Structures are given as C-alpha cells and as structure tokens.
Structure 1
Amino acid sequence: MADSYPARQVRPRRRGRKVLVTLVVLLLVLGGLLAVADRVAVAVAERTIADQVRQEVANQQVESAAPEVEVGGFPFLDQVVAGRYDRISIRLRDVQGSVQGNAVRLPQLDVDARDVRASLDTLRTGQGDVVARTVDGTGTISYDSLAALLDRPGLKLGERDGQLAVTAPVDILGQRLTVNGVVEVVVSEQGEVSLKVNDLDAEGLPAVPLARSLLNQYAQGISIAVPLPELPFGLTVREVRPLPGGLAVTADARDVPINQTAG
C-alpha cells in the first residue's frame, strides 16, 4: 500500500500539466487566427481606400500611378469598430498635372493622414466619406518641369549650396552669354509659389548701362508666380526647398475627405 500511494499523486499533476499545455496551445492558435484576421482586414481596407483615392485624384484632373496605401495602428479591428484610424499613409508616384499646356511632374507625393474617420459601412461598400483631421504632404517638383513653365530656351534650374540656381544662354548686344544666378522661392500664406531672381550675372557682360539693363529685364522675366497644378486632398503648399533631386514641397490641410464620395 505504501508503494502505490506516490503513483496516485503523480497522475493528477501530469493531467493538470497536459490541460495547461493544451490551454496555452489553444490561446496561441486563437491569437494567431486573430492576428491573421486583423492583417486580412487591413489588406481589404487598404485596397478599398486605394480605389477611392484613385477616384479622388482623377476627379481633380491629376494623373498618377496606382496609389499605395498603408493603414497604421494595431490592432486594426479595434479601429474598425471605433470608426477611427490612427494613420493612413498614401504614396502617389509619377504625379502629373497640366498648367498652361505644360506638364508639371512630381516623381513622388507622400501623404500622411492622421486621425482618420471612416465607418465600417464605408469601408465595406465604398459609399460615404473617409475624412482625415490632418493631412501632410511632401513631394518633389522636377527642375525640368519648373524650367518648362518659365519658357526660356536653354534655361536650367538646379540646387547649389542649398539655393535654387539658374543658368541660361542669353543674347545681349549681339553677344551670346551664359547668365548665372540665384532664385529666391517665396511661398505666400495662400500657398502660392513665386520665383524672384535676386542675383544674376554673366561673364563677359559689356560694361555699359544698356547691357546691365537688358540683363535685369531677363531677370524680371523669370521672376514669376509659379502656376502649380491643384494638389490632391486640398493640400496647400507651406514650404519649398531646393534639393539636388528637385524642388521639395511641403503641404498640409485639415478636415479633408480623402476619398471620392460615391452615389
């Protein structure tokens, strides 16, 4: 009897251990299934929002490659239930709008929408509004597109020591000269961008007042307001900075519908 007593004590421990292991495995499986379901729901939402953004961009007569959408925040399903999303990032490549017959190109426009409100029914049916409390956009305007707007043969723009530099061939008093200078980029409170030439010179410029006057006239001719195309999502330009790859544009907006309302 004494020998059999310890054996009866071991079995419940083993059985209890098996139950605990089984419970842990079930919880892991359930957690995995929930995580998979969460990611599947994210993918569906991203496709739905991408389709709606595509419609919105087309409605504003702006061309681009297919939008790339990423919904941030985890778990996603909790955000679905609440109808509010921490962040939706949208990337538009090869953005192009037409101004005065010239194509203005942004190789890439990144849009970061925060505190986004969208009902479950909107995501399910595509009907209704997806509204972001704040939207920030960053993109780069190619220098070739900007130079085309100035409509000066041979004119080239680029970044030099953090400034926007201009180079162009100019005929002055029968001489073909190359002018160089610095262009100031000014952004108004309304988001309008203008170029102002503050410093323009040409090597070999004749030392006569008429030559300098003609050079100043050329500088005034390229000091213009830049007629940028309407940016998607109601974005207003706030800052423009010359970079080696182009003119970097920072824009923002508030309480913005980021989809095309159907119906």
Structure 2
Amino acid sequence: MTTTYYAEETRPRRRRGRRVLIALLVLLVIVAGILVVGDRVAANFAEKKIAEQVSQNVAAQNVQAGTPEVSVGGFPFLTQVVAGEYKEITIGLPDVQGDVNGNVVTLPRLDLVARDVTASIDTLRTGQGEVVAKTVDGNATIGYAEVTKLINQEGLQLAEREGKLQVTAPVEVPVINQRFTVHGTAELSVEGRRIKIQLKDANAEGLPAVPLAQEVVRNFIQRTSISFDVPALPFNMELKQVTPTSEGLAVAATATQVPITS
C-alpha cells in the first residue's frame, strides 16, 4: 500500500512541472515575438524618416529622383536606435535625372550604401539636427545612348566586348575624299565628375595603302580622347571607377563624412 500511494503522488507533480515549463516556453515565444515586432516597427519608422531626409538632400542639389527606397541593416535594431548609430543603411534612388550642359541625363537607378551613420532619436523624430554617414558608396549604370548624347560626336558608337569598351567612329580622309570607319578598344579613366575615353588599338576597315591616308587615320586615333561630365550625384559623391558592361558604363562613386540632411 505504501509503495502504491507514493507512485500516485509523484505523477501529478511531474505533470505540474511539465505544465510550468511549457507555460514558460510559450511566454518566452510571446515576448520574443513582441520584441521582433517592436524592432521592425522601429526600423520602419527610421527608414521612413531617413527617406524623407534623403529626398530633401537630393532636391537641394538640383537632382531629380523617384521616391528613395531605404533599408536599415543590423539586428536588433532597437539597440541602434538607442545608441543613435547605424552600421549600414542602403538607399535605392530610381530614375535619377541631372543636367549636363543643357542635356538631361537619366540614370535608371542609383544604389547607395551609407555606413557608420549617426542620427539621434530626436533628429529622426523632429527632422531637426544632423544625420551624418562616415562613408557613402554609390553604383549606377549610364546607358550607351546617354553617353553618346553627352559626347555629341556624329556616328560614334560604344559597346562592351569581353570586358573592354569598343569604339566605332567615322573618319574623313580628305586626300582621297573618302570616309572610313575606325574600330578599336578604349581605356577608361575618371577625374572628379569627368569620364575620359582614350582610343587605343584601332584600325580603319578598307583603308588603302596610301601613306597620306594612313597618316590621317593614325593621327585621328592618337588624338581621339573623349571626355564628358556625368550629372551631379547626390551627397557630392565623386567618381572612383568606371567599367564597361553590356548595358552601359557602370560607375562607382564615393564620399566621406556625408551629411544626409540637407
């Protein structure tokens, strides 16, 4: 009888222990869910406010663009809000338009990454104060149609082949009163907001073995150095690299100690 009575008493205690453990686990899941939701709400608020600041900054620099798409990286987000420091903020600007010597140039999209951003809660809430990024890096592609519009050289064609920029341009040879097409590759370089294209390794199809004609084409190739400015980029970014792609010239730009606020 004693043994049976003891076994009957221990079973309910074990069941109660399991119930308490399950209740604690459920409570933890609920608390974690609340924290995740709260974290996301805070992130959405910050992204909205930063997007507003970016729009104002872009407009202040006479650059037109669509609504910024902002995403704040890092988790948990609430700790970044409290500290007023954000590790990384990505900003997508669609349909960027700028003026270059009277020409409206369009970039389908400018992707920005702002790192080590400082912004207090009050600044985000009121819009008063500074939002500053230690660095801002940007990437965009200028279509070849836009590039040739900026260069404004009749008959010029640009394309990418095997990672190199291919240039096709007409050249007049007065000594034989004919026009020939020059084909060649080009070297790319950047300086400030300016892109330079230097024609290299070129030849003219069908050029006759006439010394004067060949000299004209050689001189044309040697002196052909095309340069043009890109539209003013947000946050006063300067070009650091340009590479040819199938869609156009891919440009990378950067700036340091950047005020996101206008």
Does TM, scored on the shorter chain, surpass 0.5?
Answer: yes
Distance 1:4 1:93 in 2: 77
Q: Does 1:234 align with 2:232?
A: no
TM-score with structure 2 setting the length? 0.89
Question: What is the rounded CA distance, in whole Å, between the counterparts of 1:207 and 1:160 in structure 2?
Answer: 29
Q: Deviations over 1:212-255 (max 9, x none)?
A: 45546655775233212221122111111111111111121111
**Alpha carbons 1:193, 1:226 under 8 Å: kept:** yes
2:79 aligns to what? Answer: 78
Kept after mapping to 1: 8 A contact 2:87/2:116: yes
SS at match of 1:248: strand
2:193 and 2:229 in contact (8 A); partners too = no
How many residues end up aligned between the 2 structures?
259
Identical columns (%): 52
Residues 57 and 25 (structure 1), Cα distance of their counterparts in 2 relative to 1, 3 Å cut: same
Q: Which residue is equivalent to 1:68?
A: 69
Q: CA deviation at 1:126?
A: 2.2
Moved more, 25-34 or 57-66: 57-66
Give the counterpart letter for 1:64 in structure 2. Answer: A
Q: Is the contact made by 1:103 and 1:145 (CA closer than 8 Å) also made in structure 2?
A: no
Contact 1:197 1:223 in 2 (8 A): yes
Q: Which residue of 1 aligns with 2:23?
A: 22
- Partner of residue 136, structure 2: 135
Structure 2 unaligned spans of 5+: none
Deviation of 1:68 after TM superposition, in Å, equals: 1.1
**Can you give the 5+ residue segments of structure 1 that lack an aligned partner in the other structure?**
none
- Secondary structure at the counterpart of residue 152 of structure 1: coil
Q: Relative to structure 1, is the Cα distance of residues 49 and 222 closer, same or farther in structure 2, using a 3 angstrom cutoff?
A: farther
Give the TM-score, by structure 1 length: 0.89
Match of 2:261 in 1: 259
Letter in 2 for 1:72: G
Alpha-carbon deviations, 1:40-96, whole Å to 9, x = none?
111121111112111111211122222111110000001000111111011122222
Check if 1:244 corresponds to 2:246.
Answer: yes
1:179 and 2:182 correspond? yes
